[in-house]
Amino acid sequence: MAKAKTVYRCTECGAEFPKWAGRCESCDAWNTLGEEMVSNAPTSKRTAARSVPGIAAATVTLGRVTAADTPRWTTQLNEFDFVLGGGLVPGSMVLVGGEPGIGKSTLLLQVAARLENAGLATLYVSGEESALQVRLRADRLAEDASSVALLTETSLETILATASQPAADGRRISVLIVDSIQTVHTELLEGAPGNVGQVRECAARLMRFAKDTGTAVFVIGHVTKGGGIAGPKTLEHIVDTVLYFEGDGTLDHRVLRATKNRFGSVDEIGVFRMVGTGLIPVENPSALFLGDRRDVASGSAVCALMEGTRPVLVEVQALAARAGFGTPQRVANGIDARRLALLLAVLDKRGGFSCAHLDVFCNIVGGMRVQEPSVDLAIVAAIASSVVDKPLPAQAIFLGEVGLGGEVRPVSQVERRLAEAAKLGMTRAYLSDRAIPRRVPGDITLVGVRTLADVLQKTVGKDAT
């Protein structure tokens, strides 16, 4: 029998080391080496494997490959289907990650109930909860999940064998949900469930099962304290789609974001509201994040973001107050703190608004996380408004990237952003004069600006000094 040995593998790059170290020498990542048990194959078998020649396979030219539309299964959860690209593709594997308690199991149990009621045999595998715990969650849902087949098991071999058998009514299992991949283990490898080797091997075999049988596989993944999915990075490379379930535990809405999708657009988002009976799709996310803006105070600006193919209006709030200590605070919620520091430097140098002795707090309302630079103009306008304590126009949006020279640069898909703004009653838009479209949707007035000084002069009435 082959003896097992302990190695340490990097979860980021997959490099293998004989002993643990704080930093991976291959990719320079810190605290990414995980323990893994591997078996040494006998020397005779390794020698035999090298001497066996491969068998040539037939090839086909790309011109002779015919494209066919893959049928999709819809869950009738419109936001969920939208993020997937129009529905669930048979034979695909979807990884869903998120913070503990965010609602991953609730969402997929709702999906299982809807697919089962639509005539697709669904198997829900729980490796973390007992059958009674899953039943108690199902009883709270608005969907009827009583017909969903349940298996409380952590052995991958048992899970695959069960999913390969017909359901109780003779139907073939069409959808397999595994909660979660970190609890599943295979007998082919030594080591505890959740280590690098177990997660990688179990995910690869589930992916092969999905492709060979046409079964759609959902896998729930835990996240680390840094926000990434626990386990090796190859886990995200193996699957077809990666969905992150985001949200603040104190808020009642959740954001489902696609960061990888082989069958649709990436960076699509779906918004849900958590209620006592489960997750309810939000049909108009802009209205949710924008809120009521009838009485607008200083330091509030609106920007139109592009989340995948969907424009979403969000409110940016900034507060500049006298610093109570020697070093002013810089607090950013929903945006990169380094981006805020950069914009403050540009506002000081190019706009004449010095915040050197002020605490600056910036927040994206509703718990949204913004990465694209089109929110720059809204951030600097909100900060300047708070410094002079003068409200910005209530029904105005700000679109533009701010450069280090104080120039306002155009953003992509301006017409779609403006159309969403006009639909929600916005009447004015400040944007780069190089990005003014030929068609103006609705009754919105476009104000072209060239530099940051132009925006400040037209909104808060202060020239750059």
Contact in structure between 307 and 288 (CB atoms under 8 Å) = no
Angle between helices 337-351 and 452-459 (to 10 degrees): 80
Question: Which of 58-67, 117-126, 326-335 shows the lowest per-residue confidence on average (mean pLDDT)?
Answer: 58-67
- pTM attached to this predicted model: 0.78
Instruction: Encode pLDDT of 161-215 as tens digits.
Output: 999 999 888 899 999 999 989 999 998 887 778 888 888 899 999 999 999 999 9
Work out the mean pLDDT of the chain and round it to a whole number: 87
Written as six digits, the tokens of 186 are: 């295979």
Question: What local confidence, expressed as pLDDT, does residue 100 receive?
Answer: 87
Written as six digits, the tokens of 28 are: 């320079």
Q: How confident is the model at residue 39 (pLDDT cuts 50, 70, 90)?
A: low
Q: How far is CA 447 from CA 267, 297, 430, 455, 458, in A?
A: 29, 22, 5, 9, 9
Tell me, what amino acid is at 186? T
Contacts of residue 182, Cβ cutoff 8 Å, sequence gap at least 6: 193, 194, 199, 221, 222, 230, 231
Question: What local confidence, expressed as pLDDT, does residue 62 receive?
Answer: 84
Question: What local confidence, expressed as pLDDT, does residue 45 receive?
Answer: 47
CA 131, CA 153: separation in Å to the nearest integer?
A: 10
Binding residues: 98-105
Instruction: Encode pLDDT of 220-247 as tens digits.
Output: 998 876 667 766 677 888 999 999 988 7
Contacts of residue 385, Cβ cutoff 8 Å, sequence gap at least 6: 298, 299, 300, 301, 318, 391, 392, 459, 460
- Which residue, chain included where needed, has tokens 């910036």? 362
Report helix, strand or coil for 280. Answer: strand
Binding residues for ATP: 98-105
The secondary structure of residue 336, as a DSSP letter, is -
Contacts of residue 139, Cβ cutoff 8 Å, sequence gap at least 6: none
Bin 461: left if φ > 0, else alpha if -120 < ψ < 50, else beta. left
